[in-house]
Structure formats: structure tokens, C-alpha cells
Chains A and B, each alone.
Chain A
């Protein structure tokens, strides 16, 4: 491999951003500014450098977080450091929506226009914004705004996220005095019942630019030294969540994200917070998400001790007996997956937690990670122990900065207390977790695409077989589980498989989280045992009388009619009713947006998010969007030709696409035509 890096040089800031992740370059071979005599004698790089390919995505994040976009010089420098061909790195960088390869302002405002936010008036917000600051993409008033797919803030729709690039921080959040945090928060708290971690939203909380530095191989971050630090106040990395959003609040937040009002506690997303009988949500809003002691005083880390008592095979037996099915959408038996991974002779094994929650209308994983982050760390440790993995990767959605900070803090604290590391709880089991951040690609929620993304390649799904339990991350046996699936393991171990299996129905055991949003009185995450009906859930959330449609399972799910309240919310019940539970989305829509417009938004979503690898999905999603655009104001015979076209293209996408994205992209639209009588 004779790499060709071009002539563009990185700026000092870009070089510092990359070096903060990888350490300074040690030779001219990897891009050091001055060539030494030794460089002339020995070539460096080669296989050792190429084995760090998985640091490409964290490296792109480091530059993008620091500067706001990735220049030719920055990309070339990163490629030199990692011995990655620039064409490939360019292919990877252009794959992700959150990276820009053209100059843009350091502040970018992402305004969600997806289903739940559209139902709550995001169109008006965008129109107001356009009037005030101009068209999307254009830089005005120091920031650029763009519309965004679902940000996972559906309970507070319409939502928006401001991301400001700037200098990172080096302080470990865990070392901050919690009292100081409370003081800081209450001084600026704006009426919420529980002061949350104000400072991190306000930009004074330490931020680590490098999620990879949390990993088993800890690459110490050093204070960044560059010209900018000589200035009195360098622009710092910050974010602000504005939800519910108005154009005025957005302009304020985008102008000065550090000064934006604090985000309310994660508990606000859980209407049942603090109620008796909750299993998965019992700690959300009750414990301090920053304190491992508080977690432990609320029953934390008892499941891990049980796991060590009964051994890996015992854990797998309990999980299998409990009948736990994957909660990410595919409902695969978790015990079988773990058993299949654990029994592979090939080593090492990996554990991957899929926290790339991007299905429109889904926000349960965010609420768990923000409200009870230690639970996920504990559950991952148990899963790693059961499957024989010593490294766990937590692939977190790029649009979840608050969850990132809380998880980083949780990892640091767990390491300090011996709950992660070379010898977990003195049991002789080594396990650590690395957070990898996505960068705006729905497809990376597909497990094999997620592996490619972690490995530093384009997030394109692989064809199966071979399955991940056999050849997954880095080609090794891998157990990949969703956040909600993993945290279900805790009650299975603490209450026992039998007691757990007694919850719910025979084929769908345990509690389930539902993401209720749209036109309901009390949107949020609800926990109900499997077996509750759609009507039960809607009564809890409070629905208006003029519902037009209910979307189950997100954009890849299906619509049902408001009169189908008797559908049992179980895997088998929804299947029997010809629909799907998917990721647990219950999105309630009245008539304000209109069904054709909603369906068009779903088609736009899949067109934008198709990775482009296979023809049925790459071109099929475009043709479907075109057809839905043509018939948005038509009905009956006028629409019938296009509906026939949609059906045939949809069937081909379902039959011939490589992965689940293409195979399910037509589901929701089809169900709207067949079940709701759209375009009749």
C-alpha cells in the first residue's frame, strides 16, 4: 500500500484535536512536522498503525468537535496518523450526516422535523426560523441550521439540538464535587423539581472529546496546547437541547449554547416516575445519575454479584429460562444469542451494546442512559461475563450528548471502584467498556453496519450469514444487544428467572418500555408488563378524541386505526394483528398534519438514511418518495397507478434488500394504505 496524502497541511487546531486522541506524532512518517535523522533510516507505520483503523471515527469526531468541520488538511493528517487511504477516509466521513467536509460555522442547530415533532408543529418552527435567519444550511448570526431526522426527544416535541464545536475539556467529571454541582444547578435552575446537572449543559462541565479514551486501553488525554489557548476565553465545546422549541428560543440557544436554560431531568420523560411496581424505570428520577453510591443504595450491582455466584453458564440459563426476547425490534431470544456466542471457540469475544437509537419516535434508551446510566454499565458487565467477552463497546447515538456525558462519568466511577477493570469485584474477571459515538446514520443501528462503523469503515450492513455470533465485530464472535434488552437482565438475576417469566404473557415475558408521543396529554416512556393492550396504554397517556392514526414501532413499523385498542402489546399479539411492536413506539396522530404528508416524511426519512449499497433500497426509496409526492393531494382512481407502483417496488425492497432498513422501509406506508385507507 503506497499511500498518497496530498499537500494540504492541518491547522494547529486540527493537529491538536487529532493529537488529543492519538497522542503527538512520533515521526515524520505519521505526520510530525519535523523530520528527524531516525525517520530517514526507519519507516514507521505499517501494520501496527493500520490496526488502529477503528480510531478513524473517533478521530473524525475529534476534528469535527473541535473545529466544526473536517478540512482536507485535517483529513490527510488523520489518515497519515492511522495509515488509512485518504479516499477511504473521505468515503467514511461523507457517510455520516453530522460531519461536514465544507467550512461551516462552529455552531450548528439541528431542528427535528420527524414524525413526533411534525405532529407538534415543527413545520411552523422551521418557517419562523427561516423568516428570522434564512434558509437552512446558510450561515447567519454565527450559526447554521438544518432540519434533522428524529432526535429522540419526542416527549418534548418539537425539539432541536445545538452543537457547538470548540476546545475540549480534560477534567474527569467524577472528580467534581457533587455539592458544587448542586449549587451551580440550583442557581440557574428554572423551576424543575429536581435540579439536574446544570453545568454540563451550560458548557462548564468537562467534556472529553474522545469517547475512545474511555476504553480498556486508556489513552490519557493531555491538556491541549495550541495558539488558541493563549486567548482569554477560547470557544468551548457545548450543546443545548431546546424542547419544546420556538424560533426565538432556538436563535437564543444557537447564539449562546452555554447560556441556554438547563434541560429538565430525565425523569420528566417518565410520567410514572417514582411509582411503586416499576422494574426497569424504578431508579429513573429517583437516583442521582452521577453517583455510583446512590445507584448502589438503590439496589445497584446486586445482579452482578448474583452473576458471579452462578457463573457464566448460570447467567445464560437464567436469561434463557426467563424467556427474554431482544427489545431492539427483532425479538430474538437473548439467551440463545449469548449461548451461541459463548460457545464459539474463536477468541476474543466481544460484547456490543447497541445504543444507536434512531428509529423515529424512539427515546427509551436515552431516558435509561440519562436517568440510570450505571444500570447499563452493570448489565453490560454481566453480558460480557456470560458471553466470555473482556471488552464491551457501547455504540451511542451521536445526537445524545447528555447521555454521553453521564455514561462517561459512570464508566469512570465504575473503574475507580473496581466494577470495571482487570479484576472486576475481585472475581478475576477482566472487563472494560469503550464508548463509540455514532455520527448521524440510522443504518448504524443495524448490527453489522454498527460493526463496520466501529471498525472505521462505512456503516454499510454486511450480508448474513455469517451471523455476528460467529463473525461479528473485528470478525470475532460478538453478542450485540439493545440497551433495553440488557437492562432487563438485572431484574432477571435479582428476582430469578421464574419470577421474571411470570410477568407478561407466555411468549412475551417481562416488562416492556413504550415510547408514547404525538398528540397525547402525557407523552413519555411508560413501563407496562407485556400483555397490556394498546387501549390501556393510551388511557395512561391520555388521548384526545380526534385521533386519526397510531403508528406502532416507528418508521419501520406499521399504522393501526384508533379503534384497534384491543391489540395486545406483545410480540405475538401485534404479529397476529398484522402489525409490529418494533422498538416500542406508540405515536399518536390527529389530523393536523395529514396522513399523506406524514407518509411522505417517512419516505423522505428512508431515502435520506439508505446507505446506498444495494439497488432495491438505494433507488427504490427514491422512487417511493417520488410516487408519494405525486399522490399527496390525490385519492381514488387518480392515485391507483402510483399505489400499484409503490406496491411492486415495496415488495422488491422487502424481498431483495440486503438489510432490515430496505426490507421494512415500505411497511408503514403499506399499512397506511391497507389499514387506514389512505388515498381512498
Chain B
């Protein structure tokens, strides 16, 4: 189910990517060019349905002549630019960024984090046993989803999805400053007292598993979460006439979580509380 939106043809511009001449449509980012060329750049705060905050800095690349490295996810390609994606300088920065993240937060549920740490030979332990960590305990204040801020890397994706980029609910924001900054509701009240509408669109975009379905959280705690035993079935939500697509994740004949295809031209992976969490009736047997 892929729809390719029609748009005006865009002019191509040419630049050099790792020594190879590359042509990309005007407005494309360096990351777009890298992906088109089959290069694998790590990303965390970038998401296919959001404008990246470019806060994680794990995708940095070297642009010849620039004083600093550039975030591939946000920097647009310019004609004549010379970009090095795999230079010593870029690799060192990515390695240190991974070390800084892994030494302060729990990346155990971040897809590919372990693979990148190995690839870049990052050693998060080098900061010693006393290195400060985020040290948060999971916030379980409702029946639908859990906020485990110990796994949060402050990528701002949930804030953007909750606020101006998708949901317009503005239930959460970044509060505090520096290392003490946390994603928070006003005065850190529990979710049921906040403006949250439980659309779960923040869970959809969370890159680390800091936000998860209560069902997934409980199963992980119990050790029964097994992604290899899950099937994914995309269907249409039965609640209203919009026709949002749902992807049901089923393990042992139970729906364990619901996502939505990001390339759906109507919803872009977003759902409401009914589509996201209202699946219990389907398993009343």
C-alpha cells in the first residue's frame, strides 16, 4: 500500500558524495542522497513523518570547507558541495555521540543501537562507573502506555508529534535545562491530569522505546515479549469513516500493539485513541 504523491518535477542538482558525483532533486537533504546511494547513516531524531530537530547529532557528515560537521538529516544538498560521510572526523563524532548517549541512557530497546555501537567501536564504559545517568523510573500512570524516561534521548519527536507537527494537543514539552531537561507535562502532573488525548502518536515516533504500549512494557517486564513470534497484519480501522490503516502486531493470537503505516497518505502513521488502543473487542472470544 504505497501511494506516490504527485508533484511538480524538481530540478536536479549535482554534488559530490564520498568522491562520487551525485544528483538529487533540489531541496533534498544529504541524508536523502545517502539513502538513495545505499549508504547507511545512523539516525535517531530523524523520522520519516516529521521535520527533524537535528538534536541527536548521530548523523553528522563532513562538508568540505565547513568549520563544523553538518547533520545529514537537515542540511540540504547544495550544488558543488563536497560531502564525506565516512571520514575519520565524522566517524569519531558519531562514536562519541553514541558513547555519550549509551553512558547516560538505556539504549536496550533502541533498534540498531547495539549494532552501531559495535560498528563504531564505541565504549560507553570509558566514562567510568560514576558517570552521571538520567536515572529515571518508568512512569506508569494510565492503562494505555508507559513513559520510561530512562530510555529517553530527548530527540523531541514526541513533543513535535503531540504538538505542532501532528496532533496539536501540546500535552508534553521539554522542561528544565541541560542534562536535567526531561520530557514533561505541566508541573510534571500525571498523564490523566494533563491534556493528553491518548492518540499514541508519540509512541509511533519514539525511536528508543522510551514510550511504549502498556502491553509491550508488561510483556517485556515478564520476559514474554518476542518480536520474532509476532505477525503484523495491516487492516482498516472499523471505528469511523476515515478509514485509517492499522497494523496489528499479534503474538500468540493476542494483539500486543497497534501501529499505522507511515506512508499512508491520509494519516502518515497517526491514529486516535480508538484506533490505537481500542482493540480489545476484537479479542473478546
Binding site for B on A (CB under 8 A): 1-4, 6, 72, 75, 85-91, 94-95, 97, 101, 441, 458, 463, 607-616, 618-623, 626, 630, 645, 648-649, 651-652, 654-658, 663
Contacts and interface: CB of A to CB of B under 8 A. Distances in A.
Contacts of B54: 463, 614, 658
Interface string B213-252: 0000000000000000000000000000000000000000
Contact of A90 (B128, B132, B180, B186): B186
B93 A616 contact: yes
A439 to B, nearest CB: 11
Contact of B181 (A441, A612, A648): A612
A89 B132 contact: no
B68 A87 contact: no
Given A6-B193, A616-B100, A626-B132, A656 B69 contact: yes
A94 B177 contact: yes
A615 B97 contact: yes
B178 A87 contact: no
B153 A615 contact: yes
Interface in B28-76: 53-58, 60, 68-69, 71, 74
Interface stretch (B9-17, B165-173, B202-210, B275-283): B165-173
Interface of chain A: mostly helix, strand, loop or mixed = helix
A613 B174 CA distance: 9
A621 B178 contact: yes
Contacts of B170: 1, 3, 85, 87-88
Nearest to B172: A87
Contacts of A88: 163, 170, 173
- What range describes how many residues of B lie at the interface? 35 or more
Given A90-B185, A655-B68, 20 more contacts: A2-B169, A6-B193, A72-B186, A72-B187, A86-B186, A87-B194, A90-B186, A91-B173, A94-B175, A95-B175, A101-B187, A611-B177, A611-B178, A615-B57, A619-B104, A623-B100, A626-B128, A652-B96, A655-B60, A656-B60
Interface string B89-102: 10011001100110
9 contacts: A2-B169, A3-B195, A4-B194, A90-B184, A95-B175, A441-B177, A613-B55, A620-B96, A656-B96
Contacts of B58: 615
A618 B154 contact: yes
B126 interface: yes
B5 interface: no
A640 B68 CA distance: 26
Contacts of A458: 173-174
Contacts of B195: 2-4, 85-87
Contacts of B173: 85, 87-88, 90-91, 458
Interface of B: 53-58, 60, 68-69, 71, 74, 89, 92-93, 96-97, 100-101, 103-104, 126-128, 130-132, 153-154, 156, 163, 168-181, 184-187, 189, 193-195
Nearest to B176: A94
Given A86-B186, A463-B71, A610 B93 contact: no
B187 A623 contact: no
A56 to B, nearest CB: 12
B71 A610 contact: no
Contacts of B180: 612
Given A90-B187, A622-B132, A614 B55 contact: yes
A90 B176 CA distance: 9
Nearest to B168: A1
B130 A626 contact: yes
Given A87-B185, A616-B97, A648-B96, A657 B177 contact: no
Contacts of B101: 615, 619
Contacts of B74: 463
A6 B57 contact: no
A656 B94 CA distance: 9
Contacts of A94: 175-177
B181 to A, nearest CB: 4
Nearest to B59: A656
A657 B170 CA distance: 27
A90 B177 contact: no
Given A4-B195, A615-B100, A91 B187 contact: no
Between A87, A463, A621, the greatest number of chain B beta carbons within 10 A of the residue's beta carbon is seen for A87
Contact of A6 (B89, B103, B189): B189
Given A89-B186, A645-B126, A610 B177 contact: yes
A625 to B, nearest CB: 9
A652 B175 contact: no
Given A612-B177, A612-B181, A655 B193 contact: no
Given A3-B170, A463-B71, A612 B186 contact: no
